[in-house]
Amino acid sequence: MNRIPIAIFAGIVGLSAYLVIVLWIGDIVQTMHWALQAVYYTLAGSLWVLPIRWLMLWAAHMRG
């Protein structure tokens, strides 16, 4: 079976779940010091890249 449709579905579902969690935690972080907010939003804005990279490599059959 072709991996691309599976990867697309997993990516959409995974990123949607990630977005919900990040926004939920973001509501809590919003009341904290600006430095903690900066760290949180920097991490939250960049950590999604790692699983998506793996998913793209998996879909292309180039495990890395």
Determine which helix (DSSP H) or strand (DSSP E) holds 3, and give its type and residue range.
Answer: helix 3-29
- Flag whether 46 is in a domain: yes
The verdict on residue 47 lying in a domain is: yes
Gap between the Cα atoms of 59 and 6, Å rounded: 8
User: What is the extent of the structural domain holding 20?
Assistant: 3-59
Confirm whether 64 is domain-assigned.
no
From the list 61, 62, 58, the residue with the least C-alpha distance to 8 is: 58
Predicted TM-score (pTM) above 0.75:
yes
pLDDT in tens, 11-52: 999 999 999 999 999 999 999 999 999 999 999 999 999 999
Name the residue with tokens 């949180």: 40
Number of domains in the chain: 1
Q: Does 29 reside within a domain? A: yes
Q: pLDDT-derived band of residue 1, with 50, 70 and 90 as boundaries?
A: low
